Amino acid sequence: MNKHFIRSVLLTTAVLTLCFSSDVHADVKTVDLVIFAGQSNMSGRGGNAMAAPAVPVDTGYEFRIGTCPTGIYPVTEPFGIYSNGYLSDLPALRGGSLVSAFMNSYYKATGTPVLGFSAARGGTSIGYWQSAQVQAELASKYDTIIAWCNANHINVRRKYVVWLQGETDAIANIDMNTYKTGLSNVFTRLFVKGLDQVFVITIGKYAGLPGAYDTVIAAERQLCATDPRFTLGTDVLTSLPETYLVDGCHYDQSALNIAGTQCAAAAAHYVPAFW
């Protein structure tokens, strides 16, 4: 029997067990919402859930829509296996993510728990993220999170996106302006709805193909330098050696932990002029 099918069945069983036993929203008062968006490295395709740090219940939470009753739950890895729709991967395609390291570091710096939501799907291009169905789902799920928190007397203090995407576009030889404009367009609807900032984790390296990601990395850096709505979370993946890759393009858990920790530091210390 296919090993991915077996793993998917086991994870699905675990999901259903946790869904109906782990709702913790009654104890939550103030959170910072962070949507973790992108493609397979954001999903944690190369990660190891056992090597991701544990997230204490007062440090971070996951908002689940779809396979669980809508609400807030403790953080477990692989993060995002409870998601569905256009903004999700199959559970069997997820490993440990950068989310747990991000949450722990962010809480240590701010004292505010992160309410995380997974919006990551492997192999997706910037064109996919601009499609009508993805845009509608992204806006709808954002609205669901905010409305649920309001109805349950949970104060959402900040509203952020952490973005890690671009490998597919880089291999397809996208030009800089097309990628930069596309990324700017992806979150326009959420900014109108109250999103505060997007923190970009630049993509890293493709094993054996030096320079393959340079155009997209340059576009991401340029957008962060010129558009105040976008901030460079970290570009650490560009400097890590290829030994951190588990295959051609997916980073291992140690690399994801580093990226999550560094991006959290940038988000925790970010103060816009209007605050």
What per-residue string of b and e applies to 184-210 under the rule 16 or more CB within 10 Å gives b?
bebbeebeeeebbbbbbbbbbbbeeee
User: Strands (DSSP E) along the chain, which ranges?
Assistant: 30-38, 60-64, 71-74, 114-120, 155-164, 197-201, 230-234
pLDDT at residue 138, as a whole number: 98
Distance (Å, whole) CA 47 – CA 198:
23
Residue 71 lies in a domain: yes
Helices 253-268 and 99-110: crossing angle in degrees, nearest 10, is 30
Tell me, what's the pLDDT at 90?
87
Which amino acid, one-letter code, is at 261?
Answer: T
Number of domains the chain contains: 1
Mean pLDDT, consecutive 10-residue segments, the chain of 275 residues? 42 44 61 98 97 95 90 96 91 94 98 97 98 98 97 96 98 98 98 98 95 98 98 98 96 98 97 63
What pLDDT score was predicted for residue 19?
57
The predicted pLDDT at position 273 comes to 59
For 254, the token pair is 């140690």
Ramachandran category for residue 106: left, alpha or beta (phi over 0 → left; psi -120 to 50 → alpha): alpha
Q: What is the CATH number of the domain that holds 32?
A: 3.40.50.1110
> What was the pLDDT predicted at 263?
98
Range of the domain at 105: 3-268
Kindly state whether residue 145 falls inside one of the protein's structural domains. yes
Residue 250 lies in a domain: yes
pLDDT at res. 271: 81
Residue 274 in any domain: the answer is no
Cβ(165)–Cβ(109) below 8 Å: no
Q: What is the pTM of this model?
A: 0.91
Q: Which residue type occupies 79?
A: F
- What percent of the residues of the chain are helix, what percent strand, and what percent coil, each to the nearest 5? 45, 15, 35
Give the number of C-alpha atoms closer than 13 A to the C-alpha of residue 198, restricted to the C-beta side: 26
